[in-house]
Amino acid sequence: MREQGEGPLVLLCHGWPELSYSWRQQILALAAAGYRVVAPDMRGFGRSPAPRDIAAYSIFDTVGDMVALVGALGERQAVIIGHDWGAPVAWHAAMFRPDIFTAVAGLSVPPPFRGRGRPLETLQASGIANFYWQYFQTPGVAEAELERDVALTMRTMLARGFSDPQSLFVAPDRGFLGDADPNLPLPAWLSEADLGEFIAAYRTSGFRGGLNWYRNIDRNWELTAPWQDAPIRQPSLFIAGSDDAVIKGIIGAKRVQDMERVLPDLRRKLIIDGAGHWIQQECAAEVNAALIAFLREVAPAG
């Protein structure tokens, strides 16, 4: 867990395959702006515990971790911010426990739109059998591919990103990484030293913990039935890159367009032109400015 600063509590929830290290530039900026910033390695990642049981990675468990963290820090309330898989944690934390999480921001992944059927079954019924969610379901398959060469995996994932929607589909006999290039140059926002932090952590932890989050997708749909069509009424913020495959295409674009239905107090929807999926690392200055402006509205630092 990374912690810095004093003031109102702000929790930063990272995604997959990332770490608390992904928030390194936000931790410094938000702490300097007068906030107590805490970024944990999420359940199953980095130095955090990684239960063996797949069922231990449901949205109730991951949100429960954040509720428990607020209490363990001696606080009663917090602003919660999440990116990638951390965004659903943040959105649901605000939905489940508005008494604790007084404001929420999501990066790259829009707020939850609970469909009328289980997500994986809906994909299959639509004739889709090679979406990456589906590839991740069988324990051991994705782990074997991703752990074969952790350095190559992390270079491919972070440097290539997800700007092409086709990168979310797994071609037969090519795996999730496809034609990975060990000499792929790093983008300007990621140094070899930064990449080394991710490589070292995943060589120790492996990928099983994070992949187990995906193995709860249909179970999460079942667990959240009581919140069908529930709004998130706290002040909210959404940030994403225009070149992020997660918000492109028919489904992603519609969710971004319609998010006010779930977020009636959406203060800002910031789409950064030309940016990709790893938004808080790639566009740190713009993300930091947007987060600080939001925090000053919803949780002014004394």
- Name the nearest CA neighbour of 45 among 14, 72, 74: 14
pLDDT at 9: 98
pLDDT at 173 over 80: yes
- Whether cis (ω within 30° of 0) applies to the bond prior to 8 is no
pLDDT at 233: 98
pLDDT at 12: 98
Q: Which residues are tagged catalytic?
A: 84, 277
CA 101 – CA 80 distance, rounded (Å): 6
- pTM of this structure: 0.97
Which residues, in sequence order, are bridge partners of residue 19?
none
pLDDT at 174: 87
In which band, very low, low, confident or very high, does the pLDDT at 250 lie, cut at 50, 70 and 90?
low
Q: Give the DSSP letter of residue 160.
A: I
Q: Where are the domains of the chain?
A: 2-298
CATH hierarchy code of domain 2-298: 3.40.50.1820
CA 10 – CA 206 distance, rounded (Å): 28
pLDDT at 266 over 80: yes
Kindly report, residue by residue over 67-84, the tens digit of the pLDDT.
999 999 999 999 999 999
Express as a percent the part of the chain with pLDDT over 90.
89
pLDDT at 115: 86
Task: Return the structure tokens found at 261.
Answer: 């239905």
10/178: higher pLDDT: 10
Task: Return the structure tokens found at 234.
Answer: 């706290």
Three-state SS for 139-159 is: CCHHHHHHHHCHHHHHHHHHH
pLDDT at 166: 78
- Name the nearest CA neighbour of 43 among 30, 54, 29, 27: 54
Residue 82 φ/ψ, nearest 5 degrees: -135, 150
